[in-house]
Amino acid sequence: MTRRALVVGAGGLGGPLALALGAAGLELWIVDPDVVEASNLHRQVQFTPADVGQPKAARLAAAVVARGGVARGFQTRWTPDDADDLGEAMDLVVDGCDDPGTKFGVADWAVAAGTPYVIAAAVQLGGNAMAGAPGAACYRCLFEAPAPALQCATAGVLGPVVGAIGGVAAALAIGLVRGDRTHAGSIFVFDDLRAGADPRIVRFQPRPGCPACARAPVATRRAESA
- Would you tell me which residues interact with another protein (CB under 8 A)? 9-14, 32, 34, 39-40, 43-44, 96-100, 102-103, 120-128, 142-148, 151-153, 155-157, 162, 165-166, 187, 189, 191-192, 195, 200-205, 207
If we measure between CA atoms, which residue out of 119, 17, 31 comes closest to residue 69?
17
Q: Does 165 bind Zn ion (CB under 5 A)?
A: no
Q: Closest distance between another protein and the C-beta of residue 2, in Å? A: 27
- Per CB under 5 A, contacts with Zn ion among 193-212 are 210, 212
Please, is 120 exposed, middle or buried when counting C-beta atoms within 10 Å of its C-beta (0-12, 13-18, 19+)? buried
- Per CB under 5 A, contacts with Zn ion among 123-142 are 138, 140-141
Q: Does 112 bind Zn ion (CB under 5 A)?
A: no
Q: Does 60 bind Zn ion (CB under 5 A)?
A: no
Round to whole Å and give the CA distance between 224 and 226.
Answer: 6
If the CB atoms of residues 66 and 202 are measured against another protein, the closer one turns out to be: 202
Question: Phi and psi (nearest 5°) for 176?
Answer: -60, -45
If the CB atoms of residues 96 and 175 are measured against another protein, the closer one turns out to be: 96
Q: Closest distance between Zn ion and the C-beta of residue 108, in Å? A: 9
Round to whole Å and give the CA distance between 12 and 10.
Answer: 7
What phi-psi label fits residue 68: left (phi over 0), alpha (psi between -120 and 50 degrees) or beta? left
**Bridge-partner residues for 212, per DSSP?**
none
Contact set with Zn ion (CB under 5 A) = 138, 140-141, 210, 212-213
